[in-house]
Amino acid sequence: MSRIGKQPVTVPDGVTIELANRALTVKGKLGELSMNLVDQVDFSHADNQIVVTPKDQSKVSRSMWGLQRSLAQNLVTGVSEGFVKELEIQGVGYRAALQGKILKLQLGHSHDIDFPIPEGITIACERPTAIKITGIDKQKVGQVAAKIRAFRPPEPYKGKGVRYAGEYIFRKEGKKK
């Protein structure tokens, strides 16, 4: 039994659900998201809840049960609240700035990095060393954060680079005489 799959997805007020042709469409105050449903699970919608059940007891069906429930939960959360990832930049001369739809990053390379902001994502820089990524699609928000972090991941000696807010960097000891 899937512990995640057993729990129903609660739909908050202001969010509408449509189930048609193996597609789940969710509309809320922040926008609209949809996903295609796999054939191994069944979806039912009643009393402001989405219930996911496997069609049979095969391994594939049980594997998809929890996954599809989590994806449905992410759609509902995305259109009602949205998702946020925060990045911190650490290092002398390392900074970020917004210029229209482009995020300019100075990360110690010989050139500035211009990162075009994808559709459906908003980026804010409260300080030159803090980046806040928001959007309704959890996968897209996480992917954008991972791409920005990959330009200069934190190194283990001084901790310089781009890191997630609150991320612990394991520090190594430097050379000894």
The string of DSSP codes covering 106-171 is E-SSSS-EEEEPPTTEEEE-SSTTEEEEEES-HHHHHHHHHHHHHTSPPPTTT--EEEETT---PP
What does the pLDDT look like over 146-175, one tens digit per residue?
999 999 999 899 889 999 998 888 888 888
Same domain membership, residue 90 and residue 44? no
Percent of the chain residues topping a pLDDT of 90: 38
What does the mean pLDDT of the chain come to? Answer: 89
Strand partners, 161: 90
Q: What is the mean pLDDT of residues 102-109?
A: 89
Position 171 in a domain:
no
- As separate numbers, helices (DSSP H) first and strands (DSSP E) second, the chain gives 3, 13
Tell which residue, 135, 50, 128, 120, has the closest CA to residue 96.
128
Q: What is the pTM of this model?
A: 0.85
Task: Match 């559709």 to its residue by tokens.
Answer: 119
pLDDT of residue 5: 81
Same domain membership, residue 73 and residue 7? yes
Domain of 69, in residue numbers: 3-80
Through-space distance between the first and last CA atoms of the chain, rounded to whole angstroms: 58
User: Would the CA dihedral through 116, 121, 124, 125 be positive or negative?
Assistant: negative
pLDDT of residue 1: 64
CB-based burial of residue 95 (10 Å sphere; 0-12 exposed, 13-18 middle, 19+ buried)? middle
CA distance 127 to 23: 41
What does the pLDDT look like over 12-29, one tens digit per residue?
888 888 888 889 899 988
CATH for 103: 3.90.930.12
Q: What SS3 class is residue 88? A: strand
What does the pLDDT look like over 50-91, one tens digit per residue?
888 888 888 888 888 888 889 999 999 999 989 999 999 988
Confidence of residue 43 (pLDDT cuts 50, 70, 90): confident
pLDDT of residue 123: 93
Same domain membership, residue 12 and residue 31? yes
Position 88 in a domain:
yes
